[in-house]
Amino acid sequence: MNYRRLGKAGIKVSEIALGSWLTYGTVTEQKTAEACIHHAYDLGINHFDCANVYGSAPHEAERFLAQALAPYARDSYVLTTKAFWPVGPGVNDRGLSRKHLIAQLDQSLTALGTDYVDIFYCHRYDPDTEMEEILSTIDDQVRAGKIRYGGISEWPAERIAEAVSVQNAMGLHPLRASQPVYNMFSRYIEQAVLPICEQNGMGVVVFSPLAQGLLTGKYRLGQATPEGSRAATKEVSHFITRYLTEEHLTKIEALMGVAQELGLTLSQLALAWVLRQPGISSALIGASRPEQITENVKAVGVQLAPETLDRIEQILQ
């Protein structure tokens, strides 16, 4: 495993991080999920991502993650969580108000069985809360020792710029993490988000680097949707449907040719392509089997030659 600094922060995170987004309903699924977490740790992954809304009920995934990580020393891994999305019917059960952020952070810490998280993300931008309130709340929790670093997820570039300006003016702890979507078929961060994060010392932890599974090669042009795949699972199929176009599937065939020539799987090629960006600290993967983690971790250290990157660019265009 290789490790990178989280922007200008001193903390280092594994280039591959493991997420807890999927819901594990049965005992068998929970055992498999726990095996995935243990296998990831054994392979050198020290970065585990969660959120208050992951799982079939608020804080459920956090409780499960705490149980799975219990055998390991707390200071040996980087633990994250988030808040923004609704967790109840009340008008204050959502957003980034001081009331909601503090309540959710405290509930997350209880669920995770810890007195601090390494990164606490504002899960989306909240237009109903003043930037000063959002950032001062995060700063207060950093000073209280409940958060090591504040972060944001899927904030537009102009809001990131505003946050930097406000935190500088108020003398607050700087945000040190940004978590946007980024993969071969979703590249909007290259234009403004990635540059502004790099300029201001924020490490970028990208989610969906495999485009919800499209870049694993399991979905092929002219073939039926694989049984048991995300696209065939009603609860989460809508996340990948937008990627399953004829244009994308045609490009997948060409990309698989490039991967095969390099002796890589498509997912390894896709992850190496993401990690080519020096401003990216980690690529956040999901896994339903330990073998998937083994395969994905092999992308670490893969250097794609300029001519390979040019070929990929031609395919993607």
Would you name the residues annotated as active-site residues? 54
d(CA 279, CA 258): 25
* CA 96 to each of CA 43, 85, 204, 235, 255: distance values in angstroms, whole numbers, following the listed order: 35, 9, 21, 27, 40
d(CA 154, CA 212): 16
- Nearest Cα residue to 95 out of 105, 108, 84, 104: 84
Q: Which H/E stretch holds residue 117?
A: strand 117-122
d(CA 223, CA 151): 40
Backbone angles phi, psi at 146, to 5 degrees: -85, -20
Q: Is 264 left (phi over 0), alpha (psi -120 to 50) or beta?
A: beta
d(CA 83, CA 34): 24
d(CA 148, CA 10): 11
Structure tokens that stand for 314 in this block? 């031609």
Structure tokens that stand for 270 in this block? 């896709």
DSSP character string of 117-162: EEEEEE-S--TTS-HHHHHHHHHHHHHTTSEEEEEEES--HHHHHH
Structure tokens that stand for 301 in this block? 């250290």
d(CA 83, CA 103): 10
d(CA 195, CA 180): 13
Structure tokens that stand for 54 in this block? 């992951």
Q: Which H/E stretch holds residue 168?
A: helix 157-170
